[in-house]
């Protein structure tokens, strides 16, 4: 009796069936299969193990594996739901699903809140907001005085922290976003609607018919 490698045995750890992922996200089965093509590419760019490592995400975002960025680090941490240092396929699809144009706005608002809640305390705190402004200024080589930055952070807090307890909770954040909807503009990737056009190779290998 020989040893036969089935298609399933070649699937990386964390692989989940497209039908399951399509049922839980705004993607169709075909789109999940197209995302698998993208995932395979990203997850083999440095270490070919079928998992996206932080350096691989950095390489894809910046064309540079060593380029660090506070927000890219936060994105990685949020995609890495199991917190095991890598992004698995299921985590990748579920997280990208939040950025789909058809995903619920509530999910986008909650994701952005978690992105900005740097220390995961359940609140966006004054120090965290200042740290994020400093990080993006550093990134863009812009120089602003500390006083000026604190004025911006104070003003934002006076608008968003309606309870006045020095921190922004999810409820206050939802209210603030409803008044400033442009704040979650970066939580939608229109490109995700055309994902099957970008990665069409799934068409010849697809095993499952879309139900839609």
Partner 1 sequence: KPVSMNAFELISRAQGFSLENLFEK
Contacts with partner 1, residue ranges (CB under 8 A):
38, 42, 60-62, 69, 71-72, 75, 96, 99, 112, 116, 129, 132-133, 136, 139-140, 148, 151-153, 155-156, 159-160, 176, 180, 182-186, 189, 191, 195, 198
Of the pair 10, 179, the CB lying nearest partner 1 is at 179
| Rounded (5°) CA angle 141-147-153 | 85
Instruction: Give the CA diameter of the chain.
Output: 75
User: Is the Cβ of residue 46 or residue 189 nearer to partner 1 in the bound state?
Assistant: 189
Which is closer to partner 1, CB of 83 or CB of 185? 185
- Residue 76 exposure: Cα atoms within 13 Å on the Cβ side: 20
* Neighbouring C-beta atoms of residue 39, cutoff 10 Å: 25
Of the two residues 151 and 178, which places its CB atom closer to partner 1 in the complex? 151
In angstroms, what is the minimal distance from the CB of 20 to partner 1?
22
* CA pair distance 71, 168, nearest whole angstrom: 19
């Amino acid at each position: 009796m020989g040893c036969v490698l089935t298609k399933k045995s070649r699937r990386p750890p964390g692989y989940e069936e497209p039908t399951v992922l399509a049922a839980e996200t705004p993607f169709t089965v075909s789109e999940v299969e197209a995302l698998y093509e993208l995932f395979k590419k990203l997850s083999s760019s440095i270490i070919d193990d079928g998992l996206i490592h932080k350096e691989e995400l950095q390489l894809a975002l910046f064309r540079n594996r060593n380029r660090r960025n506070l927000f890219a680090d936060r994105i990685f941490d949020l995609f890495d739901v199991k917190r095991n240092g890598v992004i698995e396929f299921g985590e990748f699809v579920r997280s990208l699903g939040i950025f789909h144009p058809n995903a619920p706005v509530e999910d986008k608002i909650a994701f952005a809140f978690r992105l900005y809640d740097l220390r995961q305390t359940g609140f966006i705190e004054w120090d965290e907001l200042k740290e994020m402004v400093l990080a993006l200024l550093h990134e863009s080589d812009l120089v602003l005085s500390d006083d000026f930055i604190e004025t911006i952070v104070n003003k934002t807090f006076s608008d968003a922290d309606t309870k006045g307890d020095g921190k922004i909770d999810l409820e206050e954040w939802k209210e603030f976003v409803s008044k400033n909807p442009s704040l979650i503009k970066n939580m939608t990737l229109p490109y995700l609607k055309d994902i099957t056009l970008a990665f069409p190779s799934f068409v010849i290998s697809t095993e499952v018919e879309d139900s839609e």
